[in-house]
Amino acid sequence: MVEDKAGFPEKYDLNAKWDACVDLSLRRFVYSSFAGGIAGLLLFRSPVTRWASVAFGAGVGIGSAYSECAHKFNTSSPKFIPYVSETPLPEAGDE
């Protein structure tokens, strides 16, 4: 296990996690906004819809960065696993 200068294991180093999350968030925000702007220029004529595509791209970037950072901090929402009963259902002729 790798330890930093303060003696904390790497998985408990919050400064490194925050640095990685801020870097990831900025990159995904900028790249997604840029992709949304390019798509808006190619697909839409109206300035309002072009700005909407930039905003959509920025939202996608921020959302994906938030999801990734939640996994880094182990605070992601639990996955929904439906309960499946072990008992068989009665058939139509068994009543």
Task: State pLDDT tens for residues 35-76.
Answer: 999 999 999 999 999 999 999 999 999 999 998 888 888 765
Q: Cα-flanking dihedrals φ and ψ of residue 82, to 5°?
A: -70, 145
Residue/partner pairs of 16-23 with CB below 8 Å, 24 or more apart: 17/69, 17/72, 17/73, 20/72, 21/65, 21/68, 21/69, 21/72, 21/73
Q: How many CB atoms lie within 10 A of CB 63?
A: 12
93 pLDDT band, cuts 50/70/90, is low
d(CA 10, CA 79): 26
Predicted TM-score (pTM) of the model is 0.64
CB 70 within 8 A of CB 76: yes
Task: State pLDDT tens for residues 3-30.
Answer: 555 666 666 667 888 888 999 999 999 9
